[in-house]
Structure 1
Amino acid sequence: MRSFLLILATLLASTPTNIIAQPLPNTKALKLEGDIASHLVDGVDRFLLKQLDHSITARSRYWNRDTSSAAAYSKSVAPNRARLAEITGVVDSRVAFNDLEVIGGTSNGPVQGSSATFEAIKIRWPVIRNIHGVGLMLKPTKPNGKYVIAVPDADHTPEMISGLAPGLAVSQQYARHLAENGFT
């Protein structure tokens, strides 16, 4: 084993470095000025913008839309919607339901808070299989008002967007704004 390593070291040491550094046929050394990462990002951006432009023009080959009526349109794009659902993993059909389920604890019940214009009730509804959506139903205090359902976001709880919990500026409490400004 020692003799093999000795021979290998001798061969590597005797190989001229200028031969090792020669580019392969039909290639040349990469010479970029500045930040190489930004060059890469710019190139990817150009490529993706070209692909986006191409997809818009190529879409007509795959989407045979019938715009004669709303029903005809829905029927004509149904195969494309099914394919998109498959690609994105949305293969389960939604569960039909008749009513929202009110969720309440033994200490405070379903009401999570209120304001002068709405009462916030914790609710859930079936989505697929054993998966449920949850949120706050902002029930109007005035008659004939419409309900707002506040659902959680990645960074904000329904209580935050309804103005019932701290963490958001008043201008970002959009569910509360809907409930207080005539949507209810």
Structure 2
Amino acid sequence: YVRLKPDHPCSYWYYMREHLFDHVDIDSARTHLPRGDAPDPEAEAARYEQAIRDSGDVGLQLLGLGANGHIGFNEPTSSLTSLTRIKTLTRSTREANARFFDRFDDVPRLAITMGIGTILRAQEIVLLALGAGKADATAAMIEGPVSAACPASALQMHPKVTVVLDEGAASKLTLRSYYEEVHPAGREAVI
């Protein structure tokens, strides 16, 4: 979030430390996130994009799915070729994240996000969606047209994406029986 310091309990830095980095064997010097509290957020977004390029791009991109189809903070109508940048958050995204803040008005309106184009340069992508509240977005992402209306639908164009769903998130897939035949119990079918 733009203007939140890394030690703010609602910052993405804090979240990643609490939920991932502190639980895996990783040197903290090898973890990199954009600084929401940078004096010039646009310059910070450009710096982060360049750092990703300089490192040879992302090997494994882990994503969640927003109820409105966003990935990262790439809200509906985001360019499918966008790079890391500042993005204005939709009301629905802010409402979904309000549980982390004392008041809705405290939820930042702006965030630095990897762009969809940046995400699509990753060698491999894993997306996780849980709950019936993600069912419409899941169906649009997997079975809908590739469209800026559902930013996650751009993942259809990537050669190596794994989508992990629970029953609720998968509940509106019209081709579900086919997916279960092709990937029994979530595995690759043996030919």
**TM class, shorter-chain normalised?**
under 0.3
TM-score by length of 1: 0.22
Q: Specify which structure has the bigger relative contact order, considering alpha-carbon pairs within 8 angstroms and separated by 6 or more residues.
A: 2
Structure with bigger gyration radius: 1
TM-score by length of 2: 0.21
